[in-house]
Chains A and B, each alone.
Chain A
Amino acid sequence: MENESGALSRVSGLFSARGYNIESLSVAPTDDPSLSRMTLVTHGSDEIIEQIKKQLNKLIDVVKLLDLTEAPYIERGMLLVKLDCGGAGHRELIKHLADIFGAKIIDVTPSAYTVELIGGASKLDSFLEALSPIPVIEVVRSGSMGIARGDIALKV
């Protein structure tokens, strides 16, 4: 997208105006400062996805669009979760699950651990599920970012 004020609201406005869902959204400037890159996760029938793509392409601020699901792709999001570690055995369980999932404990206080995990949406979901015995104080999740596998690239 053009890296201009208002570009994001044109996209989000289109989704709300036409009744489409945004499951997650992540946007930041790219190595070309005139462009920003957005990864948007949505769902719908083939017809609806086709229509969403056409409508997005109509926006003047959308420079190029790639449907990552048309080829193999990598999805990554970040999860920060703050956990109450006061209960018996909680610290050990958190450490154990963090090892299994490849998460990092990034903040430690006598009463709370904060854990960081990077991965696809389903991995982040599974991690939270595995943590269910532990009282969660707070969860922060980023929108997903995506990139195609191999040499397919979303470049202008």
Chain B
Amino acid sequence: MELTGAEIFVRCLKDEGVDLIFGYPGGAVLHIYDALYRQDDVAHVLVRHEQGAVHAAEGYAKSTNRPGVVLVTSGPGATNAVTGIADAYMDSVPLVVFTGQVPRALIGNDAFQEVDTVGITRPCVKHNFLVSDVSKLAETIKKAFFIASSGRPGPVVVDIPKDVTADKAEYHYPETVEIRSYKPKKTGHLGQVRRAADLIMQAKKPIIYAGGGVILGHGAKSLYDFTKLTGFPITNTLMGLGGYPATDEQSLGMLGMHGTYEANLAMHHADLVIAVGARFDDRVTGNIEKFCPEAKIIHIDVDPASISKNVQVDVPIVGEVDPVLQALIAEIEQRGEPLAFAAEEAWWKQIEEWRAQECLKYEQGDDLIKPQFVVEKLWEVTEGDAFVTSDVGQHQMFAAQYYKFDKPYRWLNSGGLGTMGFGLPAAMGAQLAHPDATVACITGEGSIQMNIQELGTCRQYGLPVKIVNLNNRFLGMVRQWQEFFYAGRYAMSYMDSLPDFVKLAEAYGHVGMRIENPADVEPALREAFAMKDKLVFMDFITEQNANVYPMIPAGAGQNEMILV
């Protein structure tokens, strides 16, 4: 039987196992919305802005490790989605974004709501397609899901002209697709694994540097086994938090610009760095000239282009984190000899000395609420088991430093692109994927206003997200840099004329709370999280001038941290 393009679209989603999509209707996708209306297999969440749809799909994807799906219209629908698509590209989030396009006959004519979506999104997608004929629609959708979720994941855009969704074709959804130029490597080269094992056997001052690839590549279990087998210290990147349990004694916490003293110094003095699913981002390395001067580097990554991009490595292993780590474990066990590190006490002793600095220590006084204190209490009240999203800035770093993630897929943030406005829609996606779970969005009064309209979506779908707003009346990270590097000239970093967030939350039909005293922090959190079926907006009025420490200033080495 022949189906219309719109019907084929919906059938493809169903056959792909997609049960939920995020979107916003418009002229070019009306046939598709009509087809969605006439079925019950694929649910659709109506956001309030297309950027919110993409971040929500990212929250869904990051918390489930399955592709998130977005449907928006042509023109402004597509351009509004671009920030989210770029965000997903930087953080390797598997997404398939469907954009409507004007009918084929009008393409190139500056038609109403026409933009060159394929052209605009080209630099920030893993791949994109313009569907030129309804007979190619199903296969293109299959390819899009395959590309988005295999290898190094990423967003794929499928642009569908309106008349293609009205045309008819026989429906056939292929079970698999073959793309001759795209064959991601799974297992690592055995010779390289052996060379890596040689270095691991001999290392005296090793450290494991684990990134978001561990989480994306289902590698947390193998990473845990590998870390326990070797006894090596381990540090996680911002994207890798939860890839190894933060409360485990071998964990040194996060590294990088706002990482811990012990993690950064251990990197700097290490003789072997084992990078697992990490990409040597500039926020991690600091000054590349001063990065890990004494270390041999092993780099495991599914993306060959990530290897030796910023830092030249000694043993590259291209492959998925999980099978490569398993191969390494097998290789080490098969050798049957103890690691040189087993007889080495000096390295852990040195690390304990750095740890004794207690670089994350702060004093919570009686007057002003410290942002760190709120995050620590949040961790206690949620028993470290919430899905936590964040926006971008100081609160993001406080969340990363003080919420100790023990499990993967729990920490959802915008690391690469640094997109303010990510947190609330991402929390919606996580909550929809995990209806009974506790979902918290740690944000600031600047970031939350970038997608605050999504409070309406939360109301419509009854999403009981808990918003933890660290309100310091400043764009905090901007203010911090202006204090440090611009002699306190606070250009445009002060947020004047803030709304009354309590009333704002109430206007959307939610619960609002304002918390101004340190003594009220924990009771307020307990009260809020006890409201299982309500969105609660907690507006914590925090100390204005709190800074994120420790800090590696831009251009400095990992051993040149500002402590307090």
Which A residues form the contact surface with B (CB < 8 A)? 2, 5-6, 9-10, 13, 17, 47, 50-51, 54-55, 57-64, 156
Contacts and interface: CB of A to CB of B under 8 A. Distances in A.
B304 interface: yes
Contacts of B126: 60
B312 interface: yes
B181 A54 contact: no
Contact of A63 (B180, B304, B307): B180
A60 B308 contact: no
Contacts of B180: 63, 156
Contact of B181 (A9, A13, A47, A62): A62
Contacts of A62: 181
From B130, B147, B180, B307, residue with most partner A Cβ within 10 Å: B180
Contact of B305 (A5, A9, A54): A54
A54 to B, nearest CB: 4
B181 A61 contact: yes
A2 B129 CA distance: 13
Contacts of B304: 54, 57-58
Nearest to A62: B181
Given A55-B305, A57-B304, A58-B305, A10 B122 contact: yes
Contacts of B312: 47
23 contacts: A2-B181, A5-B130, A6-B118, A6-B122, A9-B119, A13-B122, A13-B123, A17-B123, A47-B308, A50-B308, A54-B309, A55-B305, A57-B304, A58-B304, A58-B305, A60-B147, A60-B179, A60-B182, A61-B181, A62-B181, A63-B180, A63-B181, A64-B181
Contacts of B308: 47, 50-51
A156 B181 CA distance: 10
A50 B305 CA distance: 9
Given A54-B304, A60-B181, A60-B182, 11 more contacts: A2-B181, A6-B118, A6-B122, A51-B305, A51-B308, A51-B309, A58-B303, A59-B181, A60-B127, A60-B179, A61-B181
A132 B122 CA distance: 43
Nearest to A55: B305
Interface string B301-324: 001110111001000000000000
Which of A58, A61, A156 has the most chain B CB within a 10 Å cutoff?
Answer: A58
Q: Which 10 interchain pairs have the tightest Cβ spacing? A: A54-B305, A63-B181, A60-B127, A17-B123, A54-B304, A60-B182, A55-B305, A58-B305, A13-B122, A13-B123
A13 B119 CA distance: 10
A74 B304 CA distance: 29
A53 to B, nearest CB: 9
Contacts of A156: 180
Contacts of B181: 2, 59-64
A155 to B, nearest CB: 13
Interface of B: 118-119, 122-123, 126-127, 130, 147, 179-182, 303-305, 307-309, 312
A41 B123 CA distance: 21
Nearest to B118: A6
Nearest to B132: A5
Contacts of A50: 308
A54 B307 CA distance: 9
Contacts of A60: 126-127, 147, 179, 181-182
A55 B308 CA distance: 12
Contacts of B127: 60
A154 B180 CA distance: 15
Contacts of A47: 308, 312
Nearest to A10: B122
A50 B118 CA distance: 28
Contacts of B305: 51, 54-55, 57-58
B363 to A, nearest CB: 46
A134 B539 CA distance: 78
Nearest to A6: B118
Nearest to A1: B181
Contacts of A64: 181
Contacts of A59: 181
A51 B306 CA distance: 9
Most buried by A among B127, B305, B312: B305
B136 to A, nearest CB: 12
A34 to B, nearest CB: 9
A47 B313 CA distance: 12
Nearest to A51: B309
Contacts of B122: 6, 9-10, 13
B83 to A, nearest CB: 17
A50 B303 CA distance: 14
A9 B304 CA distance: 22
Contacts of B179: 60
Nearest to B318: A54
A28 B307 CA distance: 32
A60 B127 CA distance: 7
Contacts of B118: 6
A121 B215 CA distance: 49
Nearest to B182: A60
B271 to A, nearest CB: 24
Contacts of B130: 5-6
A9 B128 CA distance: 12
Nearest to B152: A58
A17 B122 CA distance: 11
A153 B130 CA distance: 32
A149 to B, nearest CB: 26
A13 to B, nearest CB: 6
A57 B119 CA distance: 20
Nearest to B127: A60
A63 B180 CA distance: 7
A118 B179 CA distance: 37
A11 to B, nearest CB: 11
A74 to B, nearest CB: 26
A61 B182 CA distance: 9
A33 to B, nearest CB: 15
Nearest to B305: A54
Contacts of A58: 303-305
